[in-house]
Amino acid sequence: MSTAEAVDVRNVTTIGHVDHGKTTLMDALLAANNIISNRMAGKIRYLDSREDEQERGITMESSAVSLRFKVMERTAQGDPRPKTYVVNMIDTPGHVDFSSEVSTASRLCDGALVLVDVVEGVCTQTITVLRQAWQDRLRPILVINKFDRLITELKLAPIEAYHHLAQLIEQVNAVMGSFFASERMEDDLRWREERERRLAQKKDQHAEEVDATVNEEDEYQEKDDEDIYFAPERGNVVFASAIDGWGFRIGKFAHLYAVKLGIKEANLRTVLWGDFYLDPKTKRVISHKHLRGRSLKPLFVQFVLDNIWAVYDAVAINPNPDKVTKIITTLGLKIPPREQKSKDTRQLLSLIFSQWLPLSTCVIQTIVDVVPPPSAAQRIRIPKMLYPDIYEATVEPKNKVEADLYSCNDAKDASIVALVSKMFAVPTKELPGKKKKALTAEEMRSRAKAAREARAAAAQSDEPAPSEASSAPLEEAMEKVELNDKPGGAGASEDAEETLLGFARIYSGTIRTGTTIVCVLPKYNHSLGPAHKRNKQHLVTAKVEELYTMMGRELVPVESVRAGNVFAIRGLEGKVWRNATICAPSADGVGDVTDLTEVQDCLVNMAGVIRYAAPIVRLALEPEHPADMPKLIRGLKLLSQADPCVETFQQHTGEHVILTAGELHGERCIRDLRERFAKIEIQASKPIVPFRETAIKGVDMAPPKTPNARRGTIHGAAAHDLVKFTIRAAPLHPVIHEFLVDNLAILRRMQQERKAGEEENKGEEEDGAAEDDENYDVQGDYIKKPTVKAEQFWQTLEEKCRQAGGEWSDVVDKIWAFGPQRMGSCLLIDSRPGKPNSLKQRLAQMKARETVKEQDPLVASFDNHLETGFQLATFQGPLCAEPVEGMAYFVEAVTLDREGIEEEQAHNRMAHLTGSFISAVRDACRNGLLDWSPRLMLAMYTCDIQASTDVLGKVYGVVAKRRGKIVAEEMKEGTEFFTVRAKLPVVESFGFADDIRKRTSGAASPQLIFSGYEMLDQDPFWVPTTEEELEDLGEKADRVNLAKSYMDAVRERKGMFVDRKIVEFAEKQRTLKR
């Protein structure tokens, strides 16, 4: 059994905000394929196959299903004939915690059904998923869902509903327009730079010609944005109510009315949406200019909405059996009288609508019309995947592999290229080969007959009759046992209760079971070639053990998969971590090739390292019984492979920590560990939330620690004054700090280049980048898209420093290092007299491959140790050992006692000296920060809540109680819903969603998105001192110092000293109740 040809395949994902009806819509399509019954569609949510998904009513894992549909199409001669299409659908979660599932699914698809709730409109997650679809070049279809809410809940009149829908489509188009505009602006800038470069080149070539003119055809090409918008008349908008099982496009009604009105169908389709009216006298369609003050209804209201309203009114709102019978006969529907008399109005509604305007037919027809087949889609999408920085819509193939990819070639000699976008775990016993087959009636009868005969034979020979269960002879049983014990069998993998499969899409070639293929891992660098030692570890060969077509929770084994299909693959476990590209030169695979340079031409890396939303919530885990530790470690390894958005690592304290995207995601991970991956009882710590430390210039600070010096200056010395130094700490100017925070990604890239350069200089080879990535995620930094290009970084930083003025104006050439971890927003500045130790110059020399001028080796080694001390101090600040942000440390002097140091070297005591120097620098940096007014920075969530007016007060109450602040609120026009946007500290957010749901009886549910760090403007060491404060707060300062309570909680968790009074209010007598 193999999969369908690429021409008749469509790969589509459903995307949208949480609770907008994606899984319910999928139910309607499954019912049309006879996978579930029509009655259960919308109630069963078939693709939510996990227990907790059914309990909570939300999707948490994307699941795929392959459906077959027959569609009537006209041949060239105009005769209708049926054509079968295979539609591979991937249903994705809408909750922000699982947004990584959306990005893994959208890489495998060519089109997207964007679901929008007609009442709630465009929500935060709608914009996020639309952006994802835009980046992956998917063809979107807008599905306006929950249409019935306009009638039953909001009770709008048809004309009001029309205006509401028009506004909604306008909102979605505004989002699409904003993506287009930002891309055009980047394009424009790039075009101008290119033009200037060409002009400069021309000037060099024709030095004698004064005026270098630009070619005429070099005009800036304007792009048309016509085809990115949603418009009902263009057929890419579906109006639907998934729960009632109906949906329609404008074309459906145009087809119905064309004959009646005597207007061509194509013409009617263009005027059925918009301000067009039917003149009752002339029976002609007129535009709004010819209304002449008459109050006519738009065509869409008159022909479409009025009819739908009439059905709802007759069936559900004011039940009228006679009217219902009339409607059914007029529409020519077949509904048995028993159903017509049913008291269940919802059931009757869905029966009428599912025959009149079936949702599945409408959606499938739309997918076939709008979404291109893989052969056309890959022409647009693959160039962007191979060359992420490309801006042209299509490019010409450069070699055979690219030609195969762009044309979706599935011939035998075509290169196999497939993308595994994630790994997912399936219980081994649920794999098709491992399931117990249900016996057919015939087999049961023959078994019973054989048992009876055996009993009769035994009775004749007076031997004890074997029971039915043990009817197999002992020898056979022994043979079976021996078979399993043979070495090299599948014994090892049989023990595993979970099997990891790859979730993949094949772009070219035909993949078969048993083929040997090459897995190209995400960090493979194509330009270095497979023989390069850095690339070797990113290439592995694997054998395709099984191929499956996915049917929700079921897997159907297939022999081969042709280009353009979505499938699951077994055989990558232990070789592929999360995503990879599968490559082979032809359908026969790699064969026995050991040297991969022979197949170099067919290797491409489409996986790339994808960064999702930064996981921010950490949980430390430990097993209840310490003996179960190995099981926990194995479970964590499985979990981090099966879930693309979770990070697992061991902290230097020895704790096993998982980093999750949010509270709900954390709960799901722990449940998975308990029930599937580790199968042991696990104790999870309270969520660990990262903080940042900084300092500002306070109003009334204590006098500086070092008299007669500027604030923040600390003199330090190491080991009997052999090395003396002076470091001054100062808060960074806000302009510079903001610029560095915005461009953390560039600092990170610089650090990787610097590492690579150092490695090349040493002639050593380490995989620095791998560790680097891990550390960075663990930090919980919020990475934004850089505001400048990497090559303009230093120049822009210089401008920002000049803008800041004062001592900052000439700082750029003196920047020695960034911190923490060489890529944060703290600066180490060399302000010693003489030539400064400049990072900018070092990087420039490394790029130009110049040899760095050797300075005095003793000074150089102590400079390195000083930088180490700075990195340690910024990585663990003085308040609660969290990273420091927005501080500058000026090194003003370092004096070395050379004789004393040489004496130490002679006695082999240098280790002691360097150790004490590093810790002295670290302590000096920390004390310098405390000389200013220290502050904590809290990780913040942006929180979006949709609430109706009657629960608005309760929502505000919950937000205020958790120390959040309301940023904006706006009322959705035409509804009684408010959209409230608030900022909420992550540390206060645990249990927030449950709290809001309880308080509002489930009427409001929040979406929390991590949005960076904000300063808590309160000194943790503040105590009331002035008369006013003492009078206001009393000596005891009854009001809790919030910053101190956060700081103490973190210190206590880390086992550091906590300054806490044991006895409070000792003079108050407490008589405890008995």
Three-state DSSP string of 60-74: CCCEEEEEEEEEEEE
- pLDDT bucket at 968, cuts 50 / 70 / 90: very high
Tokens standing for residue 1044: 């101190």
- pLDDT bucket at 774, cuts 50 / 70 / 90: very low
Please name the helix (run of DSSP H) or strand (run of DSSP E) that holds residue 363, with its range, or none.
Answer: helix 359-370
pLDDT of residue 467: 42
Which of 59, 135, 137, 939 has its CA nearest to residue 610?
Answer: 135
Q: What is the CA radius of gyration of the chain?
A: 34
- pLDDT bucket at 852, cuts 50 / 70 / 90: low
End-to-end CA distance of the chain: 78
Nearest-5° angle of CA 512, CA 517, CA 519?
130
What's the rounded Cα separation, in Å, for the pair 245 and 148?
Answer: 11
Residue 489 has pLDDT above 60, yes or no: no
What is the maximum alpha-carbon separation in the chain? 119
What is the value of pTM for the model shown?
0.84
pLDDT of residue 473: 42
Asked whether the CA dihedral 78, 79, 80, 85 is positive or negative, the reply is negative
Q: Percent of the chain beyond pLDDT 70?
A: 89
The residues pairing with 247 across neighbouring beta strands, listed in sequence order, are: 240
pLDDT of residue 184: 86
Buried b / exposed e across 311-326, counting CB within 10 Å, b at 16+? bbebbbeeeeeeebee
Residue 1036 has pLDDT above 70, yes or no: no
Which of 776, 780, 741 has its CA nearest to residue 616?
Answer: 780
- pLDDT bucket at 222, cuts 50 / 70 / 90: low
Report the relative pairing of strands 656-660 and 647-650 from DSSP bridges: antiparallel
DSSP state of 510: E
Which of residues 847 and 1038 earns the better pLDDT score? 847
Q: Across all residues in the chain, what is the average pLDDT?
A: 84
pLDDT of residue 483: 38
Sheet of strand 647-650, all strands in order from the earlier edge strand to the far edge: 647-650, 656-660, 617-623, 682-684
What's the rounded Cα separation, in Å, for the pair 780 and 180?
Answer: 31
Residue 310 has pLDDT above 90, yes or no: yes
Report the relative pairing of strands 554-558 and 416-427 from DSSP bridges: unpaired
Which of residues 794 and 526 earns the better pLDDT score? 794
Residue 210 has pLDDT above 50, yes or no: no
Q: Note the pLDDT tens digit of each residue in 708-724.
A: 888 889 999 987 888 99
| Section 461-486 average pLDDT | 42
Strand extents, DSSP E, 559-712: 560-562, 566-570, 580-584, 617-623, 647-650, 656-660, 682-684, 691-696
Which of residues 837 and 885 earns the better pLDDT score? 885
The residues pairing with 13 across neighbouring beta strands, listed in sequence order, are: 90, 112
Tokens standing for residue 588: 């026969």
Q: Note the pLDDT tens digit of each residue in 601-616.
A: 888 888 765 655 667 8
pLDDT of residue 478: 38
Q: Note the pLDDT tens digit of each residue in 107-158.
A: 899 999 999 999 989 988 899 999 999 988 999 999 999 999 999 998 999 9
Cis peptide before 321 (omega within 30 of 0): no
- pLDDT bucket at 772, cuts 50 / 70 / 90: very low
| Section 521-546 average pLDDT | 85
Report the relative pairing of strands 9-16 and 111-117 from DSSP bridges: parallel
pLDDT of residue 90: 95
| Section 784-806 average pLDDT | 85
What's the rounded Cα separation, in Å, for the pair 886 and 733?
Answer: 8
Q: Which residues lie closer than 8 Å to 86 by C-beta, 6 or more apart? A: 3, 4, 8, 9, 10, 66, 67, 68, 565
Residue 554 has pLDDT above 60, yes or no: yes
* Cα dihedral: 351, 357, 363, 365 (round 10): 130
Q: Note the pLDDT tens digit of each residue in 234-286.
A: 999 999 999 999 999 999 999 889 888 888 888 899 999 999 998 888 888 88
pLDDT of residue 848: 77
Which of 789, 779, 780 has its CA nearest to residue 743?
Answer: 789
Phi-psi sector, 1060: left (phi>0), alpha (psi -120 to 50), beta: beta
Q: Contact at 8 Å (CB) between 26 and 88?
A: no
pLDDT of residue 219: 60
Residue 653 has pLDDT above 90, yes or no: no
What's the rounded Cα separation, in Å, for the pair 28 and 35?
Answer: 10
Buried b / exposed e across 118-140, counting CB within 10 Å, b at 16+? bbbbbbbbbbbbbebbbebbbbb
pLDDT of residue 8: 86
